[in-house]
Structures are given as C-alpha cells and as structure tokens.
Amino acid sequence: MVAAVLFYISGNFLNDWMDRDWDKEKRPERALPRGMFSAMAYLTTASAGMVIGLVISAFYGWLAFVVAGVLVSLIVLYTKVHKKAAWSVIPMGMCRACLPILGYVAMCSDLVAPLIFPAVGLLVYVIGLSLSARWEARGDLPVGQKWIARGLLFGAGVFAVIPLALIPSNVSWIGLIPFTAWLIVSVTIYQSPVSAHVSALLAGIPLIDWIILLPMAIMSLNLDLVESHEPMYLIAIFLAPSCFVLGRMLQRVAPAT
C-alpha cells in the first residue's frame, strides 16, 4: 500500500516536472510556473519515491517487484507521451490496473484469472476519466468524446462486478449502487465545467474498489467467515467510502487536478 501511494505521488511530481513549460503558458497558477519550488526538487522527489516504492515491493517477492517495475515504466511512458498522443490514456489507465495486481501478488505470490476483471474495470474507468481531463483547459467536451467517455465509465462498473456476479448471492450487486449513483451525479450535476466533472470522477475511484469490497464483506459476515469487529471486515466496509468523502473534502482545499 505504501509503495503504491509512493508511485502515485511520484507520478504526479514527475508529470508536473515534465509539463512545467506547458503549464507556464496554460496553467500559470500551478506551483512550478509560480516559482514556489524548483524543477529539480520535483524531479528528485519523483525519482526518490519510485526507488523507495520498488525497494518496498521487492520485500514481497520477485513477482511483486516485477509488477511494480511495470507500473513505474507505465508512469514514465505516460509522462513522456501524454501531451503528444491520444493513446496516452491507455498507459495512464494501466497504472491503476496494476494496483490490485500488485496487492494480490504481494500477499499470495501468484496470479489468478479473476484478477483481470477489477484491473480492467480500473483501466476502463481511468481511460474514460482521462478522455474528459484532456479537455479541462479547452472548454466543454465534444459530444462524441463525451458519450465514449460515459460508456467507458459505466462499463468499468460492469467489469469490476463480474467476479461477484458468478457467486449466487443476493448482495453480489450491492456495490454497484453507490458507484452508479455517484457516476450519474458526476455526468449530470457536475458535467460542467470540465474541471468539476473530472474532480467528481477522481473522487469516485475508490467506489470501484467498493463494488467488490462491500458485497465480499457482507457475504463473509453472513457465512460466519469474519466477525463484524474484525479489522478486515471494517476495512472492507468503511475504507473506500471514507476515501471518497475525504477526497471530496480535500478538493475544497486544493484543485483535484
């Protein structure tokens, strides 16, 4: 978890370092164009975070280290091409898709087929989000891209719920309810301006995790596999929505993007 957070923060610093000249013209309110920090400080922070994250991952075995290495490579690739190529949204999404895989191999030291579904769900969601974010500084989304983005965003929930849909339970789909509700709010109430739309979508990322965590927690409790006071049950129930609420609160302090 710490390694994943370090990779994400490092990616942000590296991205801003790469975009410093573009931001000077298009986003002068950001920290580097304003001269609040030096460009070298951003690059050093990014590099140090990635190296520390790789070292932490290595403690969990060679497979975790390989997945972490792929994740770092995707961060660097996205940073290099995101202002030049429309397909850059794919490595951006794959960065997120690596996270459940990294977590699983760190705990179990192998790979299983059902992992592909939450990974693809995150990939598709971030691609849809990124298609919208590309228009943040240029105004409203073109109609065609808007509908493609919405299709990807709603499709993400379908991919994420597939492993649970195969389990005969009345609660398999319950995690889709908060995800879908917030997505509807994001594409209606917060559809404009683009910055507000993207902020809402970013805050909704933990709700993809809750699509899986919420029904799994309830099913485990019903089968007496866990007690309601156990840490893993409480984490599965409360962590994702807490991150969602905290994200929205922090967006009042600083712009999400």
Tell me if 118 is assigned to some domain: no
Cα three-residue angle 162-166-170, rounded to 5 degrees: 100
Of 96, 65, 94, 82, nearest to 14 by C-alpha is: 82
Last residue of a domain, one of 58, 83, 111: 111
- Quote the domain boundaries for residue 198: 123-257
- Specify if 148 maps to a domain: yes
Mean pLDDT calculated for residue range 212-231: 90
Q: Are residues 40 and 140 in the same domain?
A: no
In a domain, 116, yes or no: no
In this prediction the pTM is 0.82
Over 60: is that where the pLDDT of 92 sits? yes
Range 222-246 average pLDDT? 92
Name the pLDDT band for 89 (thresholds 50, 70, 90): confident
**Of the residues 64, 90, 111, the one at which a domain ends:** 111
Tell me: pLDDT of 230 over 60.
Answer: yes
Same domain? 74 vs 139 = no
Q: Is 70 part of a structural domain of the chain?
A: yes
User: If you average pLDDT over every residue of the chain, what do you get?
Assistant: 89
Residue 46 pLDDT class (50, 70, 90 cuts): very high
> Highest-confidence range of 55-69, 99-113, 121-135, by mean pLDDT?
55-69
For position 45, what pLDDT does the model report? 96
**DSSP state, residue 141:** P
Residue 47 main-chain phi, psi, to 5 deg: -65, -45
Q: Which of 82-86, 117-121, 249-253 has the lowest mean pLDDT?
A: 82-86
Q: What is the pLDDT of residue 87?
A: 85
Comparison of pLDDT for 136 and 77, the residue scoring more: 77
In this prediction, residues 1-9 reach a mean pLDDT of: 95
Residues 60 and 146 in one domain: no
Clarify whether residues 128 and 66 are in a common domain. no
For residues 237 and 228, what is the distance between their CA atoms, to the nearest angstrom?
Answer: 10
Least confident of 51-60, 61-70, 125-134: 125-134
Do 60 and 134 fall within a single domain?
no
Whether 149 and 235 map to the same domain: the answer is: yes
Give how many domains the chain has, as a whole number.
Answer: 2
Q: Do 168 and 68 share a structural domain? A: no
Report, as an integer, the average pLDDT of 206-224.
Answer: 91
Domain endpoint, select from 86, 111, 136: 111
Residues 236-252 pLDDT 10s: 999 999 999 999 999 99
* Residue 137 predicted with pLDDT over 60: no
CATH of residue 85's domain is 1.10.357.140
Does one domain contain both 133 and 202? Answer: yes
Handedness of CA 246, 76, 6, 19 (dihedral sign): negative
Question: Quick one: three-class SS letters along 16-61?
Answer: HHHCHHHHHHHCCCCCCCCCCCCHHHHHHHHHHHHHHHHHHHHCCC
Tell me, yes or no, whether 229 and 127 share the same domain: yes
Predicted confidence at residue 22, as pLDDT, reads 87
In this prediction, residue 136 carries a pLDDT of 59
**Residue 149 in this model has a pLDDT that exceeds 80:** yes
The verdict on 19 and 100 lying in the same domain is yes
Nearest of 132, 100, 101, 129 to residue 204 by alpha carbon: 129
pLDDT for the residue 203: 94
Averaged over 97-109, what is the pLDDT?
Answer: 91
